[in-house]
Copies of this chain bind each other. A is one copy, B any other.
Amino acid sequence: MSKGPGGHEPDHGDHTHPEVSGADASVEGVLAVMREHGGRVTSSRRILLGALFATREHRTAEELTAAVQAQLPDVHPSTIYRNLDELERLGVVVHSHIGHGPATYHLAASAHGHLVCEVCGSTVDVADTMFSGLARQAKADHGFTIDPHHFAVPGRCANCG
């Protein structure tokens, strides 16, 4: 959690932010973009973005809903889905389907791949360079440009393999 000096509680209902730090700045930035696009800035959106920026890992809609509800109990899952949809339309988040189970969402800005263990569910972050060979070959053989920001590879990790 990136709390600024002195700050400790996230819910300051109607409080102007004099200085925001790290992730908070990004959250406000995205909210500004949403407002520019005719959208409104709401608490659920601010908290959802906070959750997305807090951990750059993959999280399901259900997990994100729980995270938001921890601060705003009455937020409905459909609101999370609608907001994730909107954020995806704006290019802020992307989602992937990893093996079975629900889709996972994460920031589009986190440009790294993930290896996801199908057995224990653990994830390993890997550099984009790991996909450079695949990218080159896909381009050469099929004219296909792979998306390095939207990548989750299932398999078995060192412990479960």
Contacts and interface: CB of A to CB of B under 8 A. Distances in A.
Q: How many copies altogether?
A: 2
A133 B150 CA distance: 19
Nearest to A151: B154
A104 to B, nearest CB: 12
Given A118-B147, A154-B151, A124 B97 contact: no
B144 A137 contact: no
B145 A161 contact: yes
Interface in A83-137: 96-100, 115, 117-118, 124, 126, 130-131, 133-134, 137
13 contacts: A97-B99, A99-B151, A118-B150, A124-B142, A126-B142, A130-B141, A131-B134, A142-B157, A143-B161, A144-B155, A146-B154, A147-B154, A151-B152
